[in-house]
Structure 1
């Protein structure tokens, strides 16, 4: 098994830093080139996405848990009724 040299790890972090900085510069340039109404619409859409997506996922998980609990209770009562009857 190969061991990573510290120079290789350092180069990796340097490349990640350079790529992040380049992406940040491009984003800043794109934001600077936007008109005010376009910038406002972008901010509103981003805020809606940041708010709605986690809410939808949370509600989906909550309702799935409620469904599983109700299904387990229904199955438990049906099994209890089936065992109580002489067959």
Structure 2
């Protein structure tokens, strides 16, 4: 493995910033080229994704925790009976 130095970390951060700026410029050009109805539809879809994806992940985690708790209780009851 290569030794990390300040200059190698600095080069890596420069590459990350450069790639991020290039992506932002490309995104800005794409948004600038969109028609108003297309831009509105894109904003609505993006808003729905930002709203629904975290909600779905939260519900998934909550139901998995409930499932694990119920499974632990059932297993404990079965162990106590035998």
Aligned length: 82
Q: Which residue of 1 is the match for residue 60 of structure 2?
A: 60
Report the CA distance shift for 1:80/1:33 in structure 2 as closer, same or farther (over 3 A).
same
Rg comparison, structure with higher value: 1
Query: What whole-Å deviation, never above 9, does each CA across 1:16-67 have from its counterpart, x for those lacking one?
Result: 3222222111111110110111001101111111111111111111101101
Matches within 5 A, 1:3-42: 3-42=3-42
Question: What is the RMSD of the two structures over their aligned residues, measured on CA atoms?
Answer: 1.8
CA distance in 2 between partners of 1:47 and 1:19 (Å): 25
Output the CA distance in 2 between the equivalents of 1:69 and 1:6: 48
Runs of 5+ unmatched residues, structure 1: 83-87
Instruction: Give the alignment's TM-score, normalised by structure 1.
Output: 0.78
